């Protein structure tokens, strides 16, 4: 069935073996790492097998378990193992066939009308699978990439809920002001003519109008954790009527340092509530949060593949002082138009950017010791092409919206498979081709 942009990309099998004969490099593919992941230890999330978690090549252990992933590439022996394991064949992945059309969900007629007016016909995979669970009142952990339609996945069943339970109030937490505004706009379009309202409560805006709006008792409050907490402390926001909470982009909220505020807010809500949790990634902090604040959640993962077929992955065997020489040599190549170089430490990032500059390569760095403004400046210069190379640490790169890049170079090995996926996901976006090179000692 053709469902437009929601099709799964077919796995790209071409190129899987083309470099098998090379001694110093080989393709680095997700399945090569799979053996380094710690197997799942009993699902505390009680979830089901998510879409896309196929048996076989791309099937990795459930992410919703404590423990995370073991660092890979610790010994020469292990590295040897993973680069020699280029697969002989990669299956084609079938396009997703939704089980429902929007018309099949038991939405009230007025809501159905609004959905139709928006032009939604087929649900995206995350919508297809989470909407029935949310309608059934279950706690849900939804794992899906940006752009997969998470907003409607939680908004639609929650709109239905407040229509059926008029006293119900919904709190939605999002990491940024822009996201909160986007969610509110989506809500407004779905809730047109239904007789309730939502409001946005974010920092960086005057708090007084928000306090005023809260007095009108909005049905949906959509905000960033910091401002929500502020409003609670001023007694402008009373969560005792809120029986439903959504944490949207929970991973980004953690990256942005909202963990304490999130815990504060959730801690003030009543224990018997409906909690929905959305994230693009699953890490230890996230698991802890889920364990503490969700009740027997259903986990739905529609992360179809860990790494994009558009990213050509390769390993370069090089170590010590030779790494720098190799890097500068690579950067002479005209194809390296916008290269993101990952290193392990803040100090290393600073130093490498300076060393590159000394070689007359336009480079800057982003890392945790730089101020937010300095990081934004470096990023802006990178976006505009004033800087060819941006040297980054994992954490600094995560908090920011990095533009499409031609190459990702793992100058230092990533600590975990998850970091590897994050790093190389910075290239090969949309339909662009990208290349990821990993320096292996
Ligand atoms: P996410 O939150 O996962 O990043 P969004 O909810 O922002 O994704 O959705 C991305 C875009 O796709 C939005 O413009 C949204 O209106 C659109 N969209 C979502 N679901 C559908 C659907 N079922 N049919 C058509 N367009 C959709
Ligand atoms: Mg979203």
Residues 117-130: tens digit of each pLDDT:
999 999 999 999 99
Q: Are 127 and 222 members of one domain?
A: yes
In a domain, 3, yes or no: no
**Measured distance CA(400)–CA(396) in Å, rounded:** 7
Q: DSSP character for 377?
A: H
Q: Are 135 and 267 members of one domain?
A: yes
Q: Are 199 and 328 members of one domain?
A: no
In a domain, 426, yes or no: yes
The whole domain housing 349 covers 15-90+309-440
User: What CATH number does residue 43 fall under?
Assistant: 3.40.50.300
Backbone angles phi, psi at 188, to 5 degrees: -60, -40
147 lines ligand 1 (CB under 6 A): yes
In a domain, 96, yes or no: no
pLDDT tops 90 at residue 397: no
Buried-state track 428-439, b at ≥16 Cβ within 10 A, e below 16: beeeeebbbbbb
Query: How far apart are the CA of 146 and the centre of ligand 1, in A?
Result: 9
Q: How many helices (H) and strands (E) does the chain have?
A: 16, 13
Query: How far apart are the CA of 77 and the centre of ligand 2, in A?
Result: 41
**Measured distance CA(441)–CA(412) in Å, rounded:** 9
Q: Are 55 and 199 members of one domain?
A: no
- Give the residue from 173, 241, 234 showing the smallest Cα distance to 208: 234
Query: How far apart are the CA of 149 and the centre of ligand 2, in A?
Result: 7
Q: Are 268 and 325 members of one domain?
A: no
**CB neighbours of residue 75 within 10 Å:** 9
Please say which residue of 256, 271, 301 terminates a domain. 301
Q: Are 368 and 435 members of one domain?
A: yes
Residues 347-389: tens digit of each pLDDT:
999 999 999 999 999 999 999 888 878 887 898 899 889 999 9
Q: Are 234 and 292 members of one domain?
A: yes
- Give the residue from 253, 308, 383, 263 showing the smallest Cα distance to 12: 308
Confidence of residue 33 (pLDDT cuts 50, 70, 90): very low
pLDDT tops 70 at residue 157: yes
Q: What is the mean pLDDT of the chain?
A: 79
- What total number of domains does the chain contain? 2
Query: How far apart are the CA of 144 and the centre of ligand 2, in A?
Result: 9
What is the position in ligand 1's atom list of the atom closest to the CA of 145? Answer: 3
Residues 302-311: tens digit of each pLDDT:
865 555 667 7
Q: Are 33 and 166 members of one domain?
A: no
Q: Are 84 and 174 members of one domain?
A: no
- pTM to 2 decimals? 0.59
In a domain, 419, yes or no: yes
Nearest CA to ligand 1 atom 5: 149
Nearest CA to ligand 1 atom 16: 149
Please say which residue of 250, 274, 301 terminates a domain. 301
Q: Are 425 and 326 members of one domain?
A: yes
In a domain, 108, yes or no: yes
pLDDT tops 50 at residue 34: no
Note the pLDDT of residue 398: 67
Q: Are 247 and 295 members of one domain?
A: yes
Percentage of the chain lying above the pLDDT 70 cut: 74
Residues 71-90: tens digit of each pLDDT:
444 444 343 333 222 332 33
pLDDT tops 90 at residue 217: yes
Q: Are 160 and 295 members of one domain?
A: yes
């Amino acid at each position: 069935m053709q469902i437009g942009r929601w099709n799964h990309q077919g796995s790209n099998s071409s190129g899987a073996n083309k470099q098998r004969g090379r001694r110093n490099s080989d393709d680095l593919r997700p399945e090569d790492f799979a053996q380094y992941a710690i197997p799942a230890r009993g699902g505390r999330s009680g979830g089901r097998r998510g879409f896309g978690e196929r048996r076989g090549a791309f099937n990795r252990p459930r992410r919703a378990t404590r423990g995370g992933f073991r660092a890979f590439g610790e010994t020469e022996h292990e590295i040897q193992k993973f680069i020699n394991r280029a697969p002989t064949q990669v299956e084609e992945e079938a396009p997703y066939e939704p089980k429902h059309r929007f018309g099949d969900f038991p939405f009230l007629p007025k809501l159905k009308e609004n959905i139709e007016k928006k032009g939604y016909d087929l649900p995206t995979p995350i919508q297809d699978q989470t909407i029935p669970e949310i309608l059934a009142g279950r706690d849900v952990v939804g794992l899906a990439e940006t752009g997969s339609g998470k907003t409607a996945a939680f908004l639609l069943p929650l709109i239905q809920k407040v229509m059926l339970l008029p006293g119900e109030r919904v709190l939605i937490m999002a990491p940024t002001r822009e996201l909160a505004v986007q969610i509110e706009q989506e809500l407004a379009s779905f809730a047109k003519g239904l007789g309730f309202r939502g409001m946005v409560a974010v920092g960086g805006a005057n708090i007084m109008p928000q306090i005023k709006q809260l007095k009108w008792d909005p049905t949906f409050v959509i905000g960033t954790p910091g401002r929500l907490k502020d409003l609670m402390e001023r007694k402008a926001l009373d969560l005792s009527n809120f029986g439903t909470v959504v944490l949207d982009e929970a991973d980004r909220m953690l990256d942005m340092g909202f963990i304490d505020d999130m815990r504060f807010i959730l801690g003030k809500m009543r224990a018997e509530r409906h909690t929905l949790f959305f994230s693009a990634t699953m890490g230890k902090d996230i698991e802890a949060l889920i364990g503490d604040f969700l009740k027997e959640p259903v986990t739905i993962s529609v992360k179809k593949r860990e790494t994009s077929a558009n990213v050509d992955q390769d390993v370069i065997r090089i170590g010590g002082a030779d790494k720098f020489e190799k890097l500068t040599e690579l950067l002479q190549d005209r194809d390296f138009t916008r290269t993101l170089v990952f290193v392990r430490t803040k100090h290393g990032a600073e130093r490498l950017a300076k060393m590159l500059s000394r070689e007359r390569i336009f480079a800057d760095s982003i890392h945790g010791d730089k101020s937010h403004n300095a990081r934004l400046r470096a990023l802006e210069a990178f976006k505009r092409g004033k800087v060819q190379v941006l040297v980054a640490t994992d954490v600094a790169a995560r908090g920011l919206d990095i533009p499409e890049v031609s190459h990702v170079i793992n100058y230092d090995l990533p600590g975990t498979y998850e970091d590897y996926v994050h790093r190389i996901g910075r290239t090969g976006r949309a339909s662009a081709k990208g290349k990821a090179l990993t320096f292996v000692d």
